Amino acid sequence: IMIVVVVLIWPMIHELFEPGGVDRVTSDIRNAGPWGFLILLAIQFLQIVVAFIPGEVVQVAAGMIYGPWVGALIIWLGCIISSSFIFVLVHKLGAPFVQAMVPEKYMGKFRDWETSDKFNVIVFIVALCAKLGAPTATPQIAVGSSILFLIPGLPKDVFTYITPLTHMSMKNFVLISNFARIPGIVLSTYAAAGLVSGNIVESVIIFAVTAAVAIVALVVYGRV
């Protein structure tokens, strides 16, 4: 299934990294009619499962094409489908599959988190901060805003692959992580839709407030 998805949308993925590519991809999806919904959903699925596509690009494109609420819904559905798929995949393939991607010293740190009685809260905060950090312009802020980056060098998307190895059920994982994604997704799509409609000041304010939240998170995340 993944091979088919990659082959079908690879030209579009490749275009995203070219100068002016986001505008061209946005136009292509908009002109695809009902298929545009499925194309964007596939790109979002690929972004989380393979994790090499910048999530910010997909969220902004969704807001520009479908508006703040429909765009956010598409991205959120993509997150639910992707995280559910990864959870099932990890349970089928087991720990060796994940350990091949994540060094043991990082896995050890994660196991310490798992034994905490606040593990559900940690999962929620990681998902929330990772998404709130997404729309900001400064990569360091986006990185620092996520508790996950207490583990140096571990991408936040890998967290989705590690959590299924814990005692957390699929139901709790999907509910907690995807509920936490909502604020960041809506902020991204709403600001992007504002850019298209000409509400530049409003969009800039949204991005600025989000950046401020990320900075505050950066300051206090060590204590949390």
Each residue's pLDDT tens digit, 47-60: 787 765 667 778 88
Rounded to 5°, the CA angle 100-92-37 comes to 95
| 126 and 204 Cβ atoms separated by less than 8 Å | no
State the DSSP H helix or E strand holding residue 53, giving kind and residue range, or none if neither.
none
Report d(CA 220, CA 186) in Å as an integer.
24
| HSE-up of residue 20 (Cα within 13 Å, Cβ side) | 2
Cα four-point dihedral sign 109, 52, 36, 207: positive
pLDDT in tens, 137-182: 333 333 333 344 334 344 556 677 888 888 888 998 889 888 888 8
Q: How confident is the model at residue 132 (pLDDT cuts 50, 70, 90)?
A: low
Q: How big is the CA angle at 97 (ends 96 and 98), to the nearest 5 degrees?
A: 90
Q: Model pTM?
A: 0.71
23 token code pair: 């505008």
* Of 66, 61, 54, nearest in space to 25 by CA: 61
